Amino acid sequence: MTPDASEVPGGRTVRRGLFGAAIGFAWVAGLFVAGPLVGGFGVAAIAEGIIVRSPGWLSTLAVRLLGFAAIPTLVAGVVVAVVGATALVAIVWPSGSDGVAAVAVGSLVATGTLFFAGGVEIAVGTFVALVVAVVSPTAAARWLPAAVATDDSTGSDRRQFLSRLGTVSVLGLVSLGALRILFERLVEDRSDVRVGEPLESSVSPPGGDPAFDFEGMPAAITSPDAHYTVDIDVRPPPIDSETWTLDIEGAVGEPYSLSYDELLEHGESVEQPTTMVCISNQVGGDLIGTGHWSGVPLSALVGAAEPAETAVDVVTHAEDGYSEAIPIGLIEREDILIAYGLGERTLPAEHGFPARLLVPGRYGMKMTKWIDRIEVRTEDHEAYWEARGWDEEAVVNTLAYVRGAERDGDRVRVGGVAFGGLETGAEEIAAVEVSVDGGETWQEAELERQVAPHAWRRWRYGFDAPDRSEFEVLARAIERDGTVQTEERTDPRPGGSTGWHRTTVRPG
């Protein structure tokens, strides 16, 4: 005979835990559905708070282990934590208390706090979002039988609970899914159409040599949708280009502001292919790309404001609170841009719309996204990642990565990309050497013609190998002064990874 569930050790705890987990999941689902009305998934704000307060070594570890999945994994972890917390509360909640009222009040307080901490503006959409986030868990608590949380529930009560739990889950998900679609369509109608709009003055990005376009090789210019993105935000901050301004201020004689149209129509605008690398990138990693950027030299923007002779730093401030600093002397380089375009369009939101900083030869941590203010300062500014133990200058270490391999009969070709830190303002890569026998011998690879002064160099090396199908390939770059890229393997923190890229390839 099957024992009564009430006699099974832990049966009451399990029932209460399921009840609480269902309430937590309903709240999270309500936040997700209401996301379009308040600029994003509410749980993402919790994840962003964790990122901001995390030490630098933890961020590096997360990117190393999870790559592009690091942020989605963090958000999923927050969801699990919320559901687990509500399950625990339900387990210890006193029997006989008004659970429905407690859920309503608790979800109201939690949602309101979340919206306030996330800087959500007070508006009709915010009120609707609040209602959805509160009603979802409250309705779940109301529709699930209260008897499941008591000690004297019968087998029939428990079966009713499980049946109703399934029904509520299905009906709730269908209803919330329909609301999410409705809210997305409402927001699309009023979204900023200038994100990713065509740039009238843009020219097509330069093309590479087709001889370097074989299996596994990246394009000479990375397309916007293939270019990596890494930042401290789970989702880009919402910015209205109609009201946005770029303010140039601080220790200057003539502070001023530019509207979005004034930035796009600036007379000194240029287009510039530039390679960008994330400082968290491991040797041979994918956090590297070469975009075709459009923008205005930072020197022109700051120069027009007449910076003080005592100025030390130029600080770029972002809409999300992020900031970065570069020495005032560095902006004399005309290749440092406030970029407003990528490819032949205005910036996508995830790449910094409406404007971002572009500093050739420095790691991506220096290149502030979503800029709304440029401040000239007479004292040093400790930037976000610098305060977390990362290198202040963040000059890209010379690198050569293996990317492609293919076979044509007995002939094998391997290839990849190489890039240097551009400290002189000119391409630092003079040659790439390749070993296909694990480092016993080295041969010079063929370099593609340079598509732009600040772009990576693609390389290839061909050899005959009729009797081999697997090769251990190493690559190392040679700088213009003859310096060979260091073999020493180091972690990304604090100044970016170093070391020769070694990988096994099996050409098809």
Helix, strand, coil percent values for the chain (each to nearest 5)? 35, 25, 40
Same domain flag for 37 and 173: yes
Residues 200 and 20: their CA atoms lie apart, in Å, by 55
Mean pLDDT confidence for 471-495? 92
Same domain flag for 322 and 292: yes
Same domain flag for 142 and 288: no
Give a yes or no: residue 257 inside a domain.
Answer: yes
What is residue 62's predicted lDDT score, i.e. its pLDDT? 66
Q: Considering only residues 190 and 375, tell me which one the structure prediction assigns the higher pLDDT.
A: 375
Mean pLDDT confidence for 294-321? 95
Average pLDDT, the chain: 83
Reported as a single tens digit per residue, the pLDDT across 163-191 is 656 665 666 566 666 666 666 666 665 55
Q: How confident is the model at residue 3 (pLDDT cuts 50, 70, 90)?
A: very low
Q: How confident is the model at residue 1 (pLDDT cuts 50, 70, 90)?
A: very low
Mean pLDDT confidence for 213-230? 94
Give a yes or no: residue 394 inside a domain.
Answer: no
Reported as a single tens digit per residue, the pLDDT across 379-415 is 999 888 888 888 999 999 999 999 999 999 999 999 9
What is residue 75's predicted lDDT score, i.e. its pLDDT? 78
Reported as a single tens digit per residue, the pLDDT across 418-431 is 998 766 545 678 99
What is residue 106's predicted lDDT score, i.e. its pLDDT? 84
Same domain flag for 184 and 235: no
Give a yes or no: residue 39 inside a domain.
Answer: yes
Is the confidence at residue 417, as pLDDT, over 50?
Answer: yes
Residues 182 and 174: their CA atoms lie apart, in Å, by 13
What is residue 185's predicted lDDT score, i.e. its pLDDT? 66
Is the confidence at residue 89, as pLDDT, over 90?
Answer: no
Reported as a single tens digit per residue, the pLDDT across 46-78 is 776 676 666 666 666 665 666 556 667 777 888
Closest C-alpha among 501, 94, 92, 138 to residue 288 = 501
- The number of domains in the chain is 3
Is the confidence at residue 434, as pLDDT, over 60?
Answer: yes
Q: Considering only residues 110 and 356, tell me which one the structure prediction assigns the higher pLDDT.
A: 356
Same domain flag for 19 and 135: yes
Among the candidates 337, 358, 388, a domain finishes at: 388
Distance of CA 463 to the CA centre of its chain: 39
Give a yes or no: residue 145 inside a domain.
Answer: yes
- E strands, 298-365, where? 313-318, 323-327, 337-342, 345-346, 356-358
Q: How confident is the model at residue 271 (pLDDT cuts 50, 70, 90)?
A: very high
Same domain flag for 447 and 409: yes
Closest C-alpha among 273, 224, 229 to residue 419 = 273
What is residue 467's predicted lDDT score, i.e. its pLDDT? 84
Closest C-alpha among 129, 215, 120, 198 to residue 416 = 215
Same domain flag for 59 and 167: yes
SS3 185: helix
What is residue 152's predicted lDDT score, i.e. its pLDDT? 47
Same domain flag for 43 and 110: yes
What is residue 77's predicted lDDT score, i.e. its pLDDT? 82
Give a yes or no: residue 60 inside a domain.
Answer: yes
Same domain flag for 269 and 323: yes
Mean pLDDT confidence for 148-167? 55
pTM for this entry: 0.76
Give a yes or no: residue 483 inside a domain.
Answer: yes
Same domain flag for 360 and 295: yes
What is residue 80's predicted lDDT score, i.e. its pLDDT? 87
Q: How confident is the model at residue 315 (pLDDT cuts 50, 70, 90)?
A: very high
Same domain flag for 326 and 424: no
**Which structure tokens are listed for 260?**
């979005």
What residue numbers bound the domain in which 413 lies? 399-505
CATH classification at residue 351: 3.90.420.10
Q: Considering only residues 107 and 9, tell me which one the structure prediction assigns the higher pLDDT.
A: 107
Residues 88, 91, 97, 102, Cα dihedral to 10°: 20
Is the confidence at residue 150, as pLDDT, over 50?
Answer: no
Mean pLDDT confidence for 103-128? 79
Contact 504/470 with Cβ under 8 angstroms?
Answer: yes
Same domain flag for 415 and 310: no
Residue 338 phi, psi (nearest 5): -95, 100
Among the candidates 333, 364, 388, a domain finishes at: 388
pLDDT > 90 in the chain, percent: 45
Q: How confident is the model at residue 17 (pLDDT cuts 50, 70, 90)?
A: confident
DSSP lists the bridge partners of residue 289 as 276
Is the confidence at residue 158, as pLDDT, over 60?
Answer: no
CATH classification at residue 495: 2.60.40.650
Among the candidates 356, 388, 420, a domain finishes at: 388
Give a yes or no: residue 198 inside a domain.
Answer: no
Give a yes or no: residue 205 inside a domain.
Answer: no
